[in-house]
């Protein structure tokens, strides 16, 4: 039987690191820490090894297209694909950050939505029979999506991408609220991730039904990490 492999994006710290630890303890296969920064990634692997775990490392910056394609080629060549993919990498501006909202919108959507979609575009074809894909969204995303009309919940991937692009463009003219958008770049990005997960799960069940691949959006509440702060109250306004 071929070696099973699990890949977690942005796993040098926070929720991604916790997922890697749990996989190292429970998954019968090779577990990959991936990080955009090689130094931070390798340091994480060394720490885990010192705790008796045996993760591997591969560099992966989801904002860098060539990094995604290089990683996809690596996992295809070495393992014939992946069995578990956790799209965890994400960012959020702090509530006190004075960066203009339009810039926050562009940067947040770039990583959380567009780069996560790039990952899925390149890695979904590599997911093996019986594979599992988890997109780490947020309760903010599922809560917002549940409030949308059924028509909005049944968008095509292209329509969803168009909507996400429209949000970014409208923030540049300070017209996003007039356009019906909420005042949260993080919330919109995670609504996009949850909606994309529905779209791709439906596609998998249509086009690769026999492969029994399960794709879910996971929507955590507050978790104490660098992103979310030391208490729920310290979480950023745009991060809750």
Ligand X SMILES: NC(=O)c1ccc[n+]([C@@H]2O[C@H](COP(=O)([O-])OP(=O)(O)OC[C@H]3O[C@@H](n4cnc5c(N)ncnc54)[C@H](OP(=O)(O)O)[C@@H]3O)[C@@H](O)[C@H]2O)c1
| Closest separation in Å from C-beta 48 to ligand X | 14
- Separation of alpha carbons 68 and 153, rounded Å: 28
Closer to ligand X at the Cβ: 94 or 208?
Answer: 94
Report the SS3 class of residue 134: strand
Stretch that binds ligand X, among 14-22, 46-54, 121-129, 205-213 (CB under 6 A): 14-22
Stretch that binds ligand X, among 59-67, 76-84, 98-106, 144-152 (CB under 6 A): 59-67
- Separation of alpha carbons 199 and 152, rounded Å: 11
Strand partners, 34: 58
Report the SS3 class of residue 180: coil
Q: Which of 8, 105, 124, 136 binds ligand X (CB under 6 A)?
A: 136
- Letters for 72-111 (x = contact with ligand X by CB under 6 A, - = none) are ----------------xxxxx------------------x
C-alpha torsion 64→68→69→70, nearest 10: 100
Contact between 47 and ligand X per CB under 6 A: no
Catalytic (active site) residue 32: no
| Closest separation in Å from C-beta 173 to ligand X | 26
For 232, list phi and psi in degrees, rounded to 5: -55, -35
| Closest separation in Å from C-beta 187 to ligand X | 11
Contact between 36 and ligand X per CB under 6 A: yes
- Separation of alpha carbons 39 and 21, rounded Å: 19
- Separation of alpha carbons 123 and 68, rounded Å: 9
Closer to ligand X at the Cβ: 36 or 132?
Answer: 36
Residue carrying structure tokens 């109250």: 233
In sign, the C-alpha dihedral spanning 162, 219, 64, 120 is negative
**Active-site residue list:** 186
- Report the interface residues with ligand X, using CB under 6 A: 9-10, 12-16, 35-37, 40, 60-63, 88-92, 111, 115, 136, 138, 220, 222-223, 225-228
């Amino acid at each position: 039987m071929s070696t099973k492999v699990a890949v977690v994006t942005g796993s040098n710290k926070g929720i991604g690191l916790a997922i890697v630890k749990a996989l190292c303890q429970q998954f019968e296969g090779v577990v990959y820490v991936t990080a955009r920064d090689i130094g931070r990634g390798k340091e994480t692997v060394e720490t885990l090894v010192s705790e008796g775990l045996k993760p591997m490392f591969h560099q992966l910056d989801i904002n860098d297209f060539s990094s995604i394609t290089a990683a996809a080629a690596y996992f295809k060549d070495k393992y014939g694909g992946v069995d578990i993919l956790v799209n965890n990498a994400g960012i959020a501006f702090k509530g006190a950050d004075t960066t203009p909202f339009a810039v926050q919108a562009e940067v947040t959507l770039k990583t959380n939505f567009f780069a996560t979609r790039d990952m899925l575009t390149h890695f979904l074809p590599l997911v093996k029979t019986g594979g599992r894909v988890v997109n780490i969204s947020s309760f903010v995303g599922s809560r917002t999506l549940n409030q949308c009309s059924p028509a909005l919940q049944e968008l095509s991937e292209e329509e969803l991408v168009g909507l996400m692009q429209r949000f970014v463009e409208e923030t540049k003219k300070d017209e996003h609220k007039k356009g019906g958008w909420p005042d949260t770049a993080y919330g919109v990005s995670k609504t996009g991730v949850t909606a994309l997960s529905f779209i791709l799960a439906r596609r998998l069940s249509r086009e690769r039904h026999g492969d029994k691949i399960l794709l879910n959006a996971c929507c955590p509440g507050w978790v104490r990490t660098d992103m979310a702060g030391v208490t729920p109250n310290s979480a950023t306004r745009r991060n809750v």
